[in-house]
Structure 1
Amino acid sequence: MRRKEREVTNQKEIMALLQSAHIIHIGIQTTDYPYVVPTNYGFEFVAGQLIIYVHGAPIGRKRDLIAKQPKVGFEIDDGNHLMASDNGDPGRNSFAYHSIIGTGNAELVADFVTKKHALQTILVHETGHTWANIKDHDVDYVGIIKIIVSQYSVKAHHDPK
């Protein structure tokens, strides 16, 4: 990381970013160009290991590409905002942000119990509460991708105001 002073290592701040953001951009390899897809996500740390779950259709390009090459890249950010200069000099403008960038191995989840857990994890992240009434049909239909994160870095530029 070039700007070491912006590196975030505090676990509480990392968790806050993962909790406050709602879109993950996943970079998937193709034969010609990277394929980047945004989707919502859920996450958990298991024995210190970051696991990210995403959902989508049970068939499609994303799943086909991951089946061929499971190594993915990802980016999550908190939406960010402009920090306009106080003196009107556009060269003094800056941007506040929190972001996480990493890589991992993606798995197409087929196991019902794991899919239900992943779907519940996504729903808790997106809605803030568990859902006791998830139907088996909904679990069967959804396509779950589990990303076992191999490395990540978190960076922030804080707004002093």
Structure 2
Amino acid sequence: MKEMRLKKREITDNGTLREILEECNVVRIGAKDAEGMFIVPVNFGYEFEDAEAASGEQTLKLSLYFHGAKEGRKAEAFEADPHVAFEMDCRHEVITGDYTCSYSYAYRSIMGSGTVKRLENEGEKQYGLKKLMEHMAPGAGTVFRPDMLEKTAVYRIDAEHFTGKERKRKTERQV
């Protein structure tokens, strides 16, 4: 995997990565089908945890959950090729400069790639929808009617690689 060019902007702290996951409400998913590349924005839920690899090293595990229709371009693309890219960002702010090209933009983001899987088991679907509700509407009831579960496709992206990145506001950089 190619290293980040501006290492000073890379986020490696698990707590900060979790903050970004919490702050973001939309993840943009990049996929490919016969018509070409496309991006779809969706609300999401997530699991983020430290996992111990077979080598004994600690690794981060990120899974994103979202729902959609069982048919259509997105569903067909995921079925044909489960490899996807994803991106989420927050804390947007224009950074003004002394001249036009010195302007910039403050943000926090997570970008990555992984594989998407449609969850078929009712228990897995309920779990994924519960994660989505916990993130998007904390404290809301999570009763899922069988007819609704039958009609809804629930997906999970298992991240194979992801990075966090931050460009701080001027006031944060000067402190």
Aligned partner letter, 1:44: E
Aligned partner letter, 1:102: G
How many equivalent pairs are there? 159
Partners of 1:45 and 1:107 in 2: CA distance: 17
Query: Taking every aligned residue pair, what percent have the same amino acid on both sides?
Result: 26
Question: Any conservation in 2 of the 1:119–1:139 contact (CA below 8 Å)?
Answer: no
Aligned partner letter, 2:116: A
Instruction: Output one character per residue of 1:24-50: Cα deviation in whole Å (capped at 9) or x when no partner.
Output: 111111234212111111100253411
Instruction: Output one character per residue of 1:31-75: Cα deviation in whole Å (capped at 9) or x when no partner.
Output: 342121111111002534110111111222111111110011111
Instruction: Output one character per residue of 1:75-124: Cα deviation in whole Å (capped at 9) or x when no partner.
Output: 11115120123x4x223222100111100011011110000010010011
Structure 2 counterpart of 1:71: 83
- Residue of structure 2 aligned with 1:33, choices 30, 36, 45: 36
- Residue of structure 2 aligned with 1:151, choices 145, 161, 168: 161
1:100 aligns with 2:110: yes
1:128 aligns with 2:131: no
Question: Any conservation in 1 of the 2:61–2:159 contact (CA below 8 Å)?
Answer: yes
In structure 2, the gaps of 5 or more residues are 52-59
Partners of 1:132 and 1:155 in 2: CA distance: 33
Q: 4+ runs of 1 displaced by more than 4 Å?
A: none
Structure 1 counterpart of 2:17: 14
Partners of 1:14 and 1:134 in 2: CA distance: 30
Would the alpha carbon gap of residues 37 and 79 (structure 1) be closer, same or farther in structure 2, given more than 3 Å must change? farther
Partners of 2:142 and 2:84 in 1: CA distance: 32
Structure 2 counterpart of 1:141: 151
Partners of 1:76 and 1:4 in 2: CA distance: 19
TM-align CA RMSD: 1.5
Partners of 1:124 and 1:63 in 2: CA distance: 24
Q: Secondary structure at the match of 2:33?
A: coil
Partners of 2:21 and 2:110 in 1: CA distance: 8
Partners of 1:36 and 1:133 in 2: CA distance: 30
Partners of 1:121 and 1:108 in 2: CA distance: 15
Normalised by the length of structure 2, the TM-score is 0.85
Q: Secondary structure at the match of 1:80?
A: strand
Partners of 1:23 and 1:79 in 2: CA distance: 13
Question: Any conservation in 2 of the 1:100–1:155 contact (CA below 8 Å)?
Answer: yes
Partners of 1:6 and 1:132 in 2: CA distance: 38
Partners of 1:63 and 1:32 in 2: CA distance: 14
Question: Any conservation in 2 of the 1:105–1:147 contact (CA below 8 Å)?
Answer: yes
